[in-house]
Amino acid sequence: MPRCRVDTSISTSPVPLIRFRAGSTAPVPLEEYLRKNPFIVRYPDGTYSYNCYHIPVPLAAGRFDAARLETCDRSGIPLNRESMHKQGDHDTI
């Protein structure tokens, strides 16, 4: 997902023009950006709205076979170190 920035340049209209810039592209009016990339609203029941549509999500996923689970031996790896970081430390999770 591109890094985004809101551009609120000075405008002569009484309503401020909000422009949106994604990455190094030229700023475009927010209305134009939202026509191509509308907001996604996620609801607590798992469904979501995209543009003017309400998308239901089937919640009956069924049962997962426990025999298909795979485990890793994490003995000797401190669980409070959470990232490899720039050093590339492989003794982390």
Residue 73 lies in a domain: no
> Is 14 among the domain residues?
yes
- Domain hosting 22: range is 4-57
Average model confidence (pLDDT) across the chain: 79
Could you tell me if residue 18 is inside a domain? yes
Buried b or exposed e, range 36-56, using 16+ CB within 10 angstroms: eeeeeeeeeeeeeeeeeeeee
Is 49 within the bounds of a domain?
yes
- Is 22 within a domain? yes
- For residue range 31-71, list pLDDT tens digits in order: 888 888 888 999 998 899 988 889 888 777 788 899 999 98
- Give domain status of residue 40, yes or no: yes
pTM over 0.95: no
In a domain, 64, yes or no: no
Total number of domains in the chain: 1
Residue corresponding to tokens 């950006």:
33
